[in-house]
Homo-oligomer: A and B are copies of this chain.
Amino acid sequence: MAASRRHPDGVRHGIKKQGELMLDEFARIRLWTGERQRPALLREQGVVLGIGDDAAVVETPPDAEGGATQWLLAVDTMVETVHFNDATMGDADVGWKALAANVSDIAAMGGVPRHALVSVSVPKTWEPARVGRLYDGLYACADYYGVAIVGGDTTSSPAQLVVAVTVTGTVEAGAAISRAGASPGDAVFVTGPVGMSGAGLHWLLAAAEPGAGQPVPLAAAEADGTAALVAAHRRPLPSVRAARLLAARGTVTSLNDVSDGLASEAWEIAMASGVTLALRESQLPYSGSMTAYAHRRGVDPLEWMLYGGEDYVLLGTIRREDAEAARAALAAEGLPMYIVGEAEEGEIGVSLIRDRGAARQAGRREAIAKRGYNHFNG
């Protein structure tokens, strides 16, 4: 499959036999990855030479305005047993999510995702059909977002599946939105509900039968009213369109995608921008199915909303005077946007204003900890 190489290094020297893929599998790799995408998509993304040589050749796709663009580059890795297991995720889900996580990083800079390069290390115990499904999910996500897969490397792995995806994107020159631009007075927004993926994972781990070796079927979630949560966990839908509409307004001052939980991402913006982000509990986007499931399990939904992660919606700040107009503009396109708080002067950090439901105590403020394992300034 490789742009960089047509077959795994793993079979070159045979240091360890366990590293070798069977002959058949090389033909299969070509089946999985050869000519899977429409020529029109590849052309649109500026692909001059795709998979099959030492490297792909791409040119900057024509910009709508004919203006100069800059490139965005990001990489993300998913490791079996660390980020998922075979009960929580089907093989196609892993492929989808590995690419989606990267697409989300491009959205979080205000850009358009363009190309992907895929490194897959496949356990020797895997049936070929499983790899096929993984690629199916990957290409499904690529087609959904119009991303051209231009390179890859399929190797064998002695133990777990490892999928590392690199994406490129483009953004109008100078228009990339970092985490560092929030100012006191800016409104804080998110582009969708948070906590659903975390709740979905919670349900999946509880529903998994040890040693079943099969993903928990979606039908079981449907029967239990948690299908939306499971879908949010397995097939996240990054906010690319919202990102582009927001970036075009020129009033978004910082942007992050919610991969590691609202608290962690808010902290990153707060630290990079030197502000406090104050979130209002009453304005946070509670999903009905997530809240219902949380109540059934006796979990505080805030736990998943703040710390669950893998929501792949956007968290950002926008000039207060444009916040409502931006929300209306996104709504006109059928895209959600929730104003959830504001940036404030003061000590760097994240606060939650408890102004909702039973917990309402005349706007009591709580400091939201950046969970220890996210803490980088120690």
Binding site for B on A (CB under 8 A): 2-13, 15-16, 18-21, 23, 26-27, 30, 48-49, 53-60, 68, 70-85, 88, 101-102, 104-106, 108-109, 111, 115, 117-119, 121, 150-153, 155-160, 162, 164, 166-169, 171, 173, 176, 178-179, 198, 201, 205, 255-257, 259-261, 268, 272, 308-310, 372-376, 378
- A27–B378 CB distance below 8 A: yes
- A56–B73 CB distance below 8 A: yes
The number of times this chain is found in the oligomer is 2
- A49–B178 CB distance below 8 A: yes
A6-B268, A155-B77 are contacts. A309–B12 as well, Cβ < 8 Å?
A: yes
A75-B153, A88-B15, A160-B159 are contacts. A166–B117 as well, Cβ < 8 Å?
A: yes
Q: A284: shortest Cβ distance to chain B, in Å?
A: 20
Alpha-carbon distance between A16 and B26 when the two chains are bound, in angstroms = 32
- A159–B156 CB distance below 8 A: no
- B166–A82 CB distance below 8 A: no
A117-B74, A375-B26, A376-B30 are contacts. A12–B54 as well, Cβ < 8 Å?
A: no
Closest 6 CB pairs of A and B: A19-B82, A159-B159, A119-B164, A54-B108, A55-B74, A166-B166
- A9–B71 CB distance below 8 A: no
Alpha-carbon distance between A77 and B356 when the two chains are bound, in angstroms = 50
Q: A231: shortest Cβ distance to chain B, in Å?
A: 17
**Other contacts beyond A73-B150, A75-B118: 20, CB < 8 A:** A5-B105, A7-B373, A9-B83, A12-B310, A13-B198, A15-B84, A19-B83, A26-B375, A49-B176, A49-B178, A53-B272, A54-B104, A54-B108, A54-B109, A55-B109, A59-B71, A73-B117, A77-B121, A79-B158, A82-B156
Main secondary structure of the interface of A (DSSP, over half): mixed
Q: A59: shortest Cβ distance to chain B, in Å?
A: 5
Instruction: Indicate the member of A80, A157, A160, A261 with the most B CB atoms within 10 Å.
Output: A157
- B85–A16 CB distance below 8 A: yes
A176 contacts which chain B residues (CB < 8 A)? Answer: 48-49, 55, 57
A150 contacts which chain B residues (CB < 8 A)? Answer: 73
- B60–A60 CB distance below 8 A: yes
Instruction: Indicate the member of A4, A18, A255, A256 with the most B CB atoms within 10 Å.
Output: A4
Instruction: Indicate the member of A9, A109, A166, A261 with the most B CB atoms within 10 Å.
Output: A166
A6-B376, A109-B57 are contacts. A76–B153 as well, Cβ < 8 Å?
A: yes
Residue of B nearest to A175 (CB): B57
Alpha-carbon distance between A19 and B84 when the two chains are bound, in angstroms = 10
- A7–B57 CB distance below 8 A: no
A12-B260, A12-B261, A13-B309 are contacts. A156–B71 as well, Cβ < 8 Å?
A: no
